[in-house]
A and B are shown apart, each in its own frame.
Chain A
Amino acid sequence: MMVVYALYGVAALLALAPIAIALGRSPRGSGVIYGASLIVTLTLGMIALLNLFEYSGGVSVVSLPLGLPWLGAHFRIDALAAFFLVVVNLGGAAASLFALGYGQHEDSPQRVLPFYPAYLAAMNLVVMADDAFSFLVSWEFMSLTSWALVIAHHQLRENLRAGYVYLLMASFGTLALLLAFGLLAGSDGNYAFDAIRATHASGGLAALVLILVLVGAGSKAGVVPLHAWLPLAHPAAPSHVSALMSGVMTKVAVYGFVRIVFDLLGPPDWWWSMVVLGVGGITAVMGVLYALMQHDLKRLLAYHTVENIGIIYIGLGLALAFKAHDMPLAAALALTAGLLHVFNHSIFKSLLFFGAGAVLNATGERDMEHLGGLIHRMPQTAFVFLVGCVAISALPPLNGFVSEWLTFQAILLSPQLPSWGLKFLVPAVGALLALSAALAAACFVKAFGVTFLGRARTPAAAGARETDTNSLAAMFFLAALCLVAGILPGFFIDALAPVTKSLVGISMPHQAGVEWLSIVPIAESRSSYNGLLVFIFIVFSGTFAAFAIHRLASDKLRRGPAWDCGYPDPNPATQYTASSFAQPIRRVYGTSVFLAREIGEMPAPGSTLPARLTVELRDLIWDAAYAPVAAGVGYATEKLNSLQFLTIRQYLSLVFAALVLLLLVLAIWP
């Protein structure tokens, strides 16, 4: 019956939307709507959590007399759906709590409030849908509500452009999914997932479906090269919605991929994993390289989502490879790694976007080159943002490291795979994953260092004030979760056991009973990791060192001007900026990936003109894939424009010709 309660929750969220329209302009409105959203998402999250732990008896199904008359609307919560519902509603609850404070500063709340609960409801519905029709309707509803939130601040032209690109890409993705479901359902048009599950698609058809799903769900998740909309749209929305889009909606897209490929499509072919792994590896490295070149804080975070989606796809691809070769234990390990990263990324990415929102609120700036020194003005935000940075950079003892460590362990199992293609691809993907992890750390040294450390670069940054209690509460909650999931990963891995069991038939060994709360994926002699002990060790030896030195040697401290080799310059413009920090990396990687060029103009000796340094970067993916399409569409519209100015006879003959053509096609159709 759990699914019915969950649907009541979704209905409550949907009911909040019209209330929000009524309350839109009142000063109390945002408090009421975000408060109610917080309560409902918390309840939904609890329901999902209970379901995940199977206290309610596993799968629960309901069908409502809505939608297509011969189909109805089916909803279902199984282990996979329950896990993703936890992710969605945890992110939703955190965002609502954050928005209780952050939303007070919204200039036009009537443009945000009605869509916010509807957006949450839509994401819940996608995960619960149990037939293709309700899935696609919810999916499209999710796209539209998030689009409305992207263009909430419509005064800025770039936001409108972001919304336009997003709308196009979202429709394109839905089209691909529509075709995929059409192929899955076959000519009988049996769109219920149960029926699809019963009839396994055969070789060529299944391959086509896989590609379509990779395009459809992948464009929403932001895999390269379908990511172009993501760094435009995610930062354009208000920050709590950015957190939801980046932290949660991309995970709903991953859910779509997992649901179709692991559940509905039947047993995988071995080469499927090649495609997924290749896409994942390229996405991970390209995402982080793009992120490194940014100096807009929110855009940097959005590009980083692309990277993490790549890491998740690497985990999923490995799971597919192991599943196809009938190595269920390894498949369970790889799938757990991917899904754990889904959970981890939803937490720290939400946290980081909240932090960016708090900075935006305090300074009015998203550009890191105009910030700096915020650690003095906003110490608590700085602290939680730092926790998020360490977690996302996959550094122990926080949670990002655990999922990447599991992915590495899965890679180390893959020499046993018999197919030659995988033997060459998997080590290369491992190298790409390692590269992306190292670059991520560089990227977040830059993000934190330039934004929060150093000296304030503008008066806005110098006059920033610490953010409000609700926002801080949401961020501290997520930061604490990062730590808990990092030092006690065993419990989180065990929570995923029912999901892996339902998808690959077996789950990882039970972790909670291992001595000292370590995690041991296969055998202790092979590999083990204990975040708790590492954390205790670090805390202990750090405090010990501090205590011993202060006690035995010296604890005196004087303040003085910075040394800087004797030439400190009081002008904050002499500090390293985001662009100059990235310069060595741009020179190493950017010259080939972005055709980066630095053009220095030195004035003639004796001239008083300033020297100039211009940096040119080209987005090759945009140039190669998007620009030609946009140009082609532009050309076609230009040509087709003349069709608007025909006489009535010409229109009639056009209609007649179309009719004849269609009848001809029907006649020739086998």
Chain B
Amino acid sequence: MAVIREFVFQGAEMLLVLLLSPLLTGFVRRMKARLLQRQGPPLLQPYRDLIRLMRKDVVLADGASWLFRINPYIIFAGTWVAASLVPTFRSGLLFSWSADLIAIIALLGSARFFLALAGLDVGTSFGGIGSSREVMIASLAEPAMLMIVFTLALIAGSTQLSTMAAFMLSSEVGLRVSLGLALLALIMVAIAENARIPIDNPATHLELTMVHEAMVLEYSGRHLALIDLTSELKLLLYVSVIGCVFTPWGIAGPDSGPLALAVGVVSYVGKLAVGGVLLALFETAIAKMRVFRVPAFLGAALMLGLLATLLLFVSRSL
């Protein structure tokens, strides 16, 4: 019985992240529009876009290979699995121990690997420019992310997100310099990983500094729908990770009743909303950066992460 219950929760989590992610993107777009004194698209527009794209035929470029066709599914599956392993409304999910935070980051790395390959598949120069810049950005963002994971893992004594969230709730944690540095670095990495302003602009096409959109330029129809859904999932994942580690309040424990679960869901949606508002504010307030300024931005994140880890190593013996 207990196992079935756990299965249900795991399935609910998978559905929840899948269903909420377009909403988050729609919400951010709407907030940005409002900040610019525009009406903005309806909140449900991303869902409509996805359904419309899925119904359309795929127009496949002549030189595309089998890899190009299965790539959207691989990328989507990897990201979806990663997103559903992050505790959102309830910790200690059935499969949450099958991958810790390092493995979740690496799963996103796998998805990126295949996405970058997709950019090279048709043999167009736009795909190439997107892929080469994406791997350049990733080569700094991934180590920065791992240093953040090191910091969190050293503080919480675990790389499991559920344990981390429980530790952050306990009174042992206190205020630490390392945590502040890690939060700052994590936000920087999340912005870069999700191709947001100032690194990349999710709203443009046909701009030479674009990265993500250039890579997926040849995709159409249901393939494009999956790629879009994947980026929405990834945004949700990063907001969830930040929420789970730095604001773990409200997450229901493994054996909590319906009320606690309801509180968990509501607080999770609340965290997403706050994250969305902050992201929209940040994106409206800042200008896009030149692509070769990005290494400085991410290098700073890497150094912050390294500094946070070093502080922990050194303070352990004091």
Contacts of B295 in A (CB 8 A): 588
Query: Which residue of B has the minimal Cβ distance to A549?
Result: B222
A/B interface sample: 24 pairs, CB < 8 A: A408-B146, A423-B316, A423-B317, A430-B146, A431-B146, A438-B138, A445-B120, A453-B123, A454-B120, A527-B102, A530-B95, A533-B95, A534-B103, A541-B77, A554-B221, A554-B222, A560-B59, A560-B60, A561-B62, A564-B218, A568-B124, A576-B132, A585-B139, A588-B292
Q: Are B147 and A454 in contact (CB under 8 A)?
A: no
What's the minimum C-beta distance from A225 to chain B, rounded to whole angstroms? 23
Quick one: given A431-B302, A525-B160, are A412 and B154 in contact (CB under 8 Å)? yes
Do B57 and A558 touch (CB < 8 A)? Answer: yes
B interface secondary structure, majority: helix
CB-based nearest B residue for A560: B59
The interface stretch among B110-118, B236-244, B278-286 is B110-118
| B→A interface (CB under 8 Å) | 14, 51, 54-63, 65-67, 73-74, 76-78, 80-81, 95, 97-100, 102-103, 106-107, 109-110, 112-113, 116-117, 119-129, 131-133, 135-136, 138-143, 146-147, 150, 153-154, 157-160, 163, 205-206, 217-218, 221-222, 225-226, 291-292, 295, 302, 305-306, 309-310, 312-314, 316-317
For residue B287, give the distance in angstroms from its CB to the closest CB of chain A. 21
With contact pairs A516-B98, A549-B222 given, residues A415 and B312 touching in the complex (Cβ less than 8 Å): yes
CA–CA, A582 and B120, complex, Å = 13
Which secondary structure dominates where chain A touches chain B? helix
Minimum CB distance partner of B226 in chain A: A545
Determine whether the beta carbon of A561 is less than 8 Å from that of B131: no
Chain B residues whose C-beta falls within 8 Å of the C-beta of A449 in the assembled complex: 116-117, 119-121, 131
A599 at the binding interface (Cβ < 8 Å): no
A559 to B59, CA, bound (A): 6
- Residue A458 at the chain B interface, CB threshold 8 Å: no
Residue of B nearest to A552 (CB): B54
From B139, which residue of chain A is reached at the shortest CB distance?
Answer: A438
Q: Contacting B97 at CB < 8 Å: which of A393, A412, A530, A563? A: A530
Q: Which of A530-584 contact B (CB under 8 A)?
A: 530, 533-534, 537-543, 545-546, 549, 552-554, 556-565, 568-569, 572, 574-576, 580-584
| A489, chain B: closest CB distance, angstroms | 12
Known contacts A415-B316, A530-B98; A454/B113 CB under 8 A: no
- CB A283 to nearest CB in B, in angstroms, measures 17
B58 touches A453 (CB 8 A): no
Interface string of A514-530 (1 = CB under 8 A from B): 00101000001111111
Residue of A nearest to B296 (CB): A588
Extra inter-chain contacts (11) besides given A553-B222, A574-B125, CB under 8 Å:
A401-B103, A423-B313, A424-B314, A442-B136, A453-B65, A527-B100, A545-B73, A553-B55, A562-B61, A572-B123, A585-B139
A541 contacts B123, C-beta separation under 8 Å: no
The one of B62, B106, B143, B226 that contacts A396, using a Cβ cutoff of 8 Å? B106
CA distance A167 to B80 in the complex (A): 52
Whether A405 and B103, one on each chain, are in contact in the complex, defined by CB atoms closer than 8 angstroms, is: yes
CB distance from A447 to the nearest CB of B (A): 11
Chain B residues whose CB sits within 8 angstroms of the CB of A424 once the complex forms? 310, 313-314
Query: Is A565 touching B206 in the complex (CB atoms < 8 A)?
Result: yes
Q: How large is the interface on A (under 10, 10 to 19, 20 to 34, 35 or more residues)?
A: 35 or more
- Top 10 A-B pairs, shortest CB-CB distance: A576-B128, A454-B123, A449-B120, A542-B77, A584-B136, A442-B135, A553-B54, A530-B98, A434-B143, A438-B142
Please state if A562 and B218 are interface contacts (CB–CB under 8 Å): yes
Given known contacts A453-B117, A574-B125, A386 and B67 CB-to-CB distance under 8 angstroms: yes
Q: Is A136 an interface residue (CB 8 A)?
A: no
Does A459 belong to the interface (CB within 8 Å)?
no
- Chain A residues contacting B116 (CB-CB under 8 Å) are 445, 449
**A557 with B110: CB separation less than 8 A:** no
Does A161 sit within 8 A of B, measured CB to CB?
no
Nearest residue, chain A, Cβ from B81: A537
A336 adjacent to chain B (CB < 8 Å):
no
Residues in A whose Cβ lies below 8 Å from that of B140: 438, 588
Given contacts A453-B120, A575-B123, contact A560 B61 (CB under 8 A): yes
What string of 1s and 0s marks CB contacts (under 8 Å) between A148-176 and chain B? 00000000000000000000000000000
Q: A357 to chain B: closest CB distance in Å?
A: 22
**CB atoms of A416 and B121 under 8 A apart:** no
Min Cβ gap A11→B in Å is: 45
Per the bound structure, the CA–CA distance linking A543 and B80 in Å amounts to 13
B142 touching A415, Cβ below 8 Å: no
A395 and B110 within 8 A (CB)? yes
A418: interface (CB < 8 Å): yes
